[in-house]
Amino acid sequence: MSGFVDNRVTQLLGIEVPVIQGGMIYNSGAKLAAAVANAGGLGLVGAGSMRPDLFRDQIRKARTLTERPFGVNIPLLYPHSADCVEIALAEGVRIFFTSAGSPRRVAGPLKEADCVLVHVVASPVLARKCEDAGCDAVVCEGFEAGGHNGRDEITTMVLVPECVAAVEIPVIAAGGIATGQQMAAALALGAESVQIGSRFAVSAESSGHDKFKQAVVDAAAGDTRLVLKAQVPVRLLRNAFRDRIMDMERLGATAEELAAELGQGRARAGMLDGDLAEGELEIGQVAGLIDDIPPVAAIMTRLLDDYRTTVARLAGTQ
Amino acid sequence: MSGFVDNRVTQLLGIEVPVIQGGMIYNSGAKLAAAVANAGGLGLVGAGSMRPDLFRDQIRKARTLTERPFGVNIPLLYPHSADCVEIALAEGVRIFFTSAGSPRRVAGPLKEADCVLVHVVASPVLARKCEDAGCDAVVCEGFEAGGHNGRDEITTMVLVPECVAAVEIPVIAAGGIATGQQMAAALALGAESVQIGSRFAVSAESSGHDKFKQAVVDAAAGDTRLVLKAQVPVRLLRNAFRDRIMDMERLGATAEELAAELGQGRARAGMLDGDLAEGELEIGQVAGLIDDIPPVAAIMTRLLDDYRTTVARLAGTQ
């Protein structure tokens, strides 16, 4: 009894409230996905940082934690991406969010298996390609989002209406959404649902390291920056590692030099092992608005209360 | 009879609808300011690209074109900024929007003269400084805005709630706002008014060159980029000049090399003289959503109609 009127996205995904938890490496395991599902939204087990065996285990674990539908998020640029798609299908998952790479690669088998396919994009041109490829919806993720990001730097405020105008399929807004006010803004822009990353990363059920969560709580506005644009752009929280990368970029470092400095395993070091100085700390610009580490149920209650208050406030402007 | 309920910003500025036209060099002269005033919003004569004599003439001309209140926008970083403040005071202007530099410089004389003072900021830290300096409101301008821009790259979606939380004075949202959907989003985020630049720059009454306006109409999402971050960051539409600057920045050009390439008079060349290849074409990311060059009255009608439709749609979500 969420009080939300069904729309195309809630019907497509079989959820009560139009809130989707983003796939986030080292943060979105079974516990987080199940908690979001139990709170009425769509939880996603994120394959991005998992080997296929662990991914299978997490899908199975999520099933023991919720009776509601949940989905998976699979970035399509890894060598084992195809394996992850097969595993999820075999495990009975019917909701697939994909990102990076082209959804064309997987659309055939997924549509044959009657699955829902949603791809994450950062431009209206790519949104149209997803529609042509047979996607059921697109997540339009703005420049302010954490983690890996588009090259065009289009913000959520502009990207969402651009994509709504570009495609017939429903648009899900992502990037800069952690509060009910921001959720109302996203729906005002024409999105039919929101995908929330950072706010759910900093929850009791996220699998990120406590030190990482606390670093986000301590962060202020302006503490994140999009870096490594010559490689795969990624939004990171300020630390010693990121400051070095920004200095190198300012001085015109080559892609090879930046790759060497980046090395291997920094995302795991930062977000799973809690190395706040030398790890990659992927988080959105909304970090400055995140001040606590509550359970998902409390986040959802606050989000929907603030959404309702905001909509009522807007109705009172005229 | 706008149908809008008064709020702190409409009362402060004596306007019917919570829409403010931003000061934009080479675009915001008397005709634009008066047209916005006549449509129920707040028009601003922008001093940024005017010598003091021209600025005085434009204030006088605006008075002949409207009986409603209008204001001025004065960037505080030019040698003649203080002259412009004096001129506007002498001409009886009582609404001052300032940007760049500190509002402390002008707050004393303006408050003594019972003027309204609003400063443009790009971070909550600066919003708080404005409040301490005695400003009556702040314009919070996100990363997606055209022209000169903040260094923290905080988008409107995040900046507005950050600033609403940081200060007691009213917040006006700017950056990425050209439609009624975006206006509703900005008010959902807690702003009490919007400041609109690009959409009014591409109007019949703007003083920009027709070729410049047409270039914006022709632009697609992702065609603007924030460049010259080592100098004063500015968002520009793609052209030969901007591409060279981006190449130089990628290769680690020094501030001196970039300044030499920039040279003098490029903003005038681009926006007033219509040199689309070598001029600076300052415009926001919303360029992709701007598809025509209508009069201000039509822009305002469409904006408010879409705002009302959006608020009604949101009310129907639950």
Nearest residue in B to A290, CA atom: B162
Measured between beta carbons, which residues in chain A are less than 8 angstroms from residue B18? 317
Nearest to B24 by CA among B301, B300, B234: B234
Q: Rounded to whole angstroms, how far apart are CA atoms A234 and A98?
A: 17
Q: Which fold has domain A8-208+287-309?
A: TIM Barrel (3.20.20)
Residue A3 has pLDDT above 90, yes or no: no
Nearest to A139 by CA among A167, A120, A164, A159: A120
Among partner residues A124, A182, A318, which is closest to B157 by beta-carbon distance?
A182
Integer CA distances (angstroms), B260 to A253, B147, B255, B263, in order: 22, 20, 9, 5
B45 three-state secondary structure: strand
DSSP B246-281: HHHHHTT--HHHHHHHH-SSHHIIIIIS--TTTS--
Q: What are phi and psi of B279, to 5 degrees?
A: -85, 165
| Amino acid (one-letter) located at A169 | I
At A1 the pLDDT is 47
Among partner residues B253, B285, B308, which is closest to A154 by beta-carbon distance?
B285
ipTM, two decimals, is 0.97
Whether A157 and B153 lie within 8 Å, measured CB to CB: no
Min Cα distance A284 → chain B (Å) is 10
Q: What are phi and psi of A151, to 5 degrees?
A: -95, -15
Q: Rounded to whole angstroms, how far apart are CA atoms B152 and B164?
A: 17
Q: Please classify residue B229 by burial: count the beta carbons closer than 10 Å to its beta carbon, then call 0-12 exposed, 13-18 middle and 19+ buried.
A: middle
Query: What's the average model confidence in pLDDT over A25-45?
Result: 98
Whether A161 and B182 lie within 8 Å, measured CB to CB: yes
Nearest residue in B to A226, CA atom: B153
Nearest residue in A to B125, CA atom: A221
Give the model confidence (pLDDT) of B175-193 as tens digits: 999 999 999 999 999 999 9
Among A2-11, A297-306, B7-16, B199-208, which stretch is predicted with the lowest mean pLDDT? A2-11
Rounded percentage of chain A residues whose pLDDT exceeds 90: 95
Nearest to B44 by CA among B84, B82, B11: B84
Confidence of residue A231 (pLDDT cuts 50, 70, 90): confident
At B85 the pLDDT is 97
Among partner residues A158, A187, A230, which is closest to B314 by beta-carbon distance?
A187
SS (H, E, C) B224-249: EEEECCCCCCEEEECCHHHHHHHHHH
Min Cα distance A175 → chain B (Å) is 9
Measured between beta carbons, which residues in chain A are less than 8 angstroms from residue B176? 155, 157-158
Whether B188 and A190 lie within 8 Å, measured CB to CB: no
Q: Name B234's bridge partners.
A: B148, B227
Query: What's the average model confidence in pLDDT over A11-25?
Result: 97
Min Cα distance B147 → chain A (Å) is 16
At A318 the pLDDT is 85
Among partner residues A3, A188, A221, which is closest to B185 by beta-carbon distance?
A188
Whether A142 and B152 lie within 8 Å, measured CB to CB: no
Q: Rounded to whole angstroms, how far apart are CA atoms B229 and A132?
A: 38
Measured between beta carbons, which residues in chain B are less than 8 angstroms from residue A225? 153
- Domain residue extents for chain A: 8-208+287-309, 219-286
* Inter-helix orientation angle A180-188/A296-315, to 10°: 50
Whether B222 and A188 lie within 8 Å, measured CB to CB: no
Q: Rounded to whole angstroms, how far apart are CA atoms B313 and A164?
A: 15
Burial readout B230-266 (b: 16 or more C-beta within 10 A, e: otherwise):
eeebbbbbbbebbeebeebbeeebeeeebeeebeeeb
Residue A248 has pLDDT above 80, yes or no: yes
* Inter-helix orientation angle B30-38/B52-65, to 10°: 30
How many CB pairs below 8 A link A and B? 175
Q: Which residues of chain B have pLDDT under 50?
A: 1
Nearest to A121 by CA among A82, A156, A80, A168: A156
Contact A200, A45 (CB under 8 A): no
Measured between beta carbons, which residues in chain B are less than 8 angstroms from residue A158? 144, 176, 221, 285-286, 288-289
Nearest to A252 by CA among B213, B258, B268: B258
Whether A317 and B7 lie within 8 Å, measured CB to CB: yes
> Dihedral of CA A303/A307/A308/A310: which sign?
positive
Nearest to B166 by CA among B135, B117, B119, B131: B131
Half-sphere exposure of B10 (CA within 13 A, CB side): 16
Architecture of domain B8-208+289-313: Alpha-Beta Barrel (3.20)
Whether A317 and B152 lie within 8 Å, measured CB to CB: no
Give the model confidence (pLDDT) of A187-199 as tens digits: 999 999 999 999 9
Min Cα distance B34 → chain A (Å) is 24
Tokens of A4: 């939300």
Interface test with A, best of B151, B152, B158, B313 (most A CBs within 10 A): B158
Whether B189 and A182 lie within 8 Å, measured CB to CB: yes
Min Cα distance B30 → chain A (Å) is 29
Tokens of A310: 């905001």
pTM of the model: 0.97
Measured between beta carbons, which residues in chain B are less than 8 angstroms from residue A3? 318
Nearest to B215 by CA among B174, B273, B258: B273
Q: Which residues touch B316 (CB under 8 Å, ≥6 apart)?
A: A5
Half-sphere exposure of B222 (CA within 13 A, CB side): 14
Min Cα distance A70 → chain B (Å) is 23
Give the model confidence (pLDDT) of A113-128 as tens digits: 999 999 999 999 999 9
Min Cα distance B5 → chain A (Å) is 5
Interface test with B, best of A158, A183, A249 (most B CBs within 10 A): A158
Whether A182 and B161 lie within 8 Å, measured CB to CB: yes
Q: Name A95's bridge partners.
A: A116
At A61 the pLDDT is 98
Q: Name A193's bridge partners.
A: A172
At B21 the pLDDT is 98
Whether B318 and A4 lie within 8 Å, measured CB to CB: yes
Q: Rounded to whole angstroms, how far apart are CA atoms B78 and B92?
A: 22
Residue A163 has pLDDT above 50, yes or no: yes
Whether A251 and B250 lie within 8 Å, measured CB to CB: no
Q: Rounded to whole angstroms, how far apart are CA atoms A183 and A181?
A: 5
Whether A155 and B314 lie within 8 Å, measured CB to CB: no
Query: What's the average model confidence in pLDDT over A306-317?
Result: 97
Mean model confidence pLDDT for chain A? 96
